[in-house]
Chains A and B, each alone.
Chain A
Amino acid sequence: DTGVSQDPRHKITKRGQNVTFRCDPISEHNRLYWYRQTLGQGPEFLTYFQNEAQLEKSRLLSDRFSAERPKGSFSTLEIQRTEQGDSAMYLCASSLEGPKQFFGPGTRLTVL
């Protein structure tokens, strides 16, 4: 059990550029979640996968955001045409069954 990993840990980009983050869940965990955490706030739910199916998306996930989990293992979160308001920590979590979620270290995005 190596834990949830995320890559990169930090990303600095210019406004208007596209960025992609990767999350590798704990092996055999069939559920995967993305959250966003802005400074001074708690994490906010973005989206949820069960295996490769994306079952729930938050209203926070605008059309510029897309998430995939093509083979039910790792997941990617892409942000197109980044805006300064996208600057945040993006957290990934996974679980096997039930409500207990294990979090990765996060990807900190800074949009200049």
Chain B
Amino acid sequence: AQSVTQLDSQVPVFEEAPVELRCNYSSSVSVYLFWYVQYPNQGLQLLLKYLSGSTLVESINGFEAEFNKSQTSFHLRKPSVHISDTAEYFCAVSDPGTGGYNKLIFGAGTRLAVHP
């Protein structure tokens, strides 16, 4: 079965500094990969996704993630963070094989805290 590991439970960073949130998944022939963001007392919002094609995917608010098949990783990066980026970030995987794409498997989350 698929599993997702987010290596950091909390990441504190100063405003305008770069940040990387790490995500590794268990090996599979092919997967779909996602990053979701959750603000306090809200549901999950899709930040970006990798389904196929270019291994570097970008969001509209400056985040990017790179799919690395050999290292089974999908790390999230932003070159300069803002206070408003403070939130919980979840990495998720969906296995398109055997109909398994019906469900998402999530990591435990990384709390990004941006300080002024």
A101 interface contact, C-beta 8 A? yes
Q: Which residues of A contact B101 (CB under 8 A)?
A: 98-99
The answer to whether B43 and A106 touch across the interface, beta carbons within 8 angstroms, is yes
Count of chain B residues with Cβ under 8 Å from any Cβ of A?
A: 26
A101 touches which one: B51, B104, B108 (CB < 8 A)?
B104
Given contact pairs A41-B109, A42-B108, A31 touches B44 in the complex (Cβ within 8 A): no
Q: Which residues from 83 to 109 on chain B have a C-beta closer than 8 Å to any C-beta of chain A?
A: 90, 92, 94, 96, 101-109
Interface flag for B68 (CB, 8 Å): no
Interface of A toward B, CB cutoff 8 Å: 4, 31, 33, 35, 40-45, 48, 50, 55-56, 91, 93, 98-106
Given contacts A33-B104, A42-B107, 20 further A-B contacts (CB under 8 A): A33-B102, A41-B109, A42-B4, A42-B90, A42-B108, A43-B106, A44-B106, A45-B103, A48-B102, A48-B103, A55-B102, A99-B34, A99-B94, A99-B101, A99-B104, A101-B46, A103-B44, A103-B45, A104-B43, A105-B42
